C-alpha cells in the first residue's frame, strides 16, 4: 500500500514536486560530455609542445570552436548539478545551504560566461 495520491503516481512527482528532472539532466549532460571530453582530450594532447598561435589557429576553425563552446557550457551545467547534490546532501544548516546553492549557480554561470567570452575573442 502506498501513501502517494493517484495524481502523484501519475505525474511521477515527489515531495519536492520536481520528479526525476535533476537525475535526468545530470545523466543527459554526462552522456553529452562523453564524446566532447574525448574531443577535448584529443585537442589538449595535440597541443602539447605547440605555441599559443597554433592553439588559436586550431580554435579559429568553426568545427573546433563549436565543440569547445558546447564542452564549456555542458561541463558547467554538469558541474553545477553535481555540486548541488553534494550541497543538498551534506550541508544541514538551511541558511548555509541556500547561500552555497546560490554561489554554486553563480560560479557555474561565471565560468561558462568567461570561457565563452574568451572563445569568442579567439574566434573573432
CB 64 within 8 A of CB 42: no
Percent helix, strand, coil in the chain, to 5, is 80, 0, 20
Give the Cα-Cα-Cα angle 25, 89, 91 (nearest 5 degrees). Answer: 125
Give the DSSP H/E element, type plus range, for residue 20.
Answer: none
* pTM higher than 0.75: yes
Render pLDDT for 88-110 as a digit per residue (tens, 0 to 9): 999 999 999 999 999 999 999 99
Give the DSSP H/E element, type plus range, for residue 5.
Answer: none
pLDDT reading at 16 higher than 90 = no
Render pLDDT for 54-75 as a digit per residue (tens, 0 to 9): 999 999 999 999 999 999 999 9
**Which CATH fold would you assign to the domain 21-123?**
3 helical TM bundles of succinate and fumarate reductases (1.20.1300)
Task: Name the region of 19 (left: φ>0; alpha: ψ -120 to 50; beta: rest).
Answer: left
Amino acid at each position: 500500500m502506498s501513501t502517494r495520491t493517484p495524481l502523484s503516481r501519475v505525474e511521477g512527482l515527489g515531495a519536492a514536486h520536481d520528479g526525476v528532472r535533476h537525475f535526468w539532466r545530470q545523466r543527459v549532460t554526462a552522456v553529452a560530455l562523453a564524446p566532447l571530453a574525448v574531443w577535448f582530450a584529443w585537442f589538449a594532447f595535440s597541443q602539447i609542445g605547440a605555441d599559443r598561435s597554433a592553439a588559436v589557429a586550431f580554435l579559429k576553425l568553426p568545427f573546433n570552436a563549436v565543440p569547445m563552446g558546447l564542452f564549456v557550457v555542458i561541463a558547467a551545467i554538469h558541474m553545477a548539478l553535481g555540486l548541488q547534490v553534494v550541497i543538498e546532501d551534506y550541508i544541514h544548516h538551511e541558511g548555509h545551504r541556500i547561500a552555497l546553492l546560490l554561489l554554486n549557480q553563480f560560479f557555474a554561470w561565471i565560468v561558462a560566461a568567461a570561457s565563452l567570452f574568451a572563445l569568442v575573442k579567439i574566434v573573432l
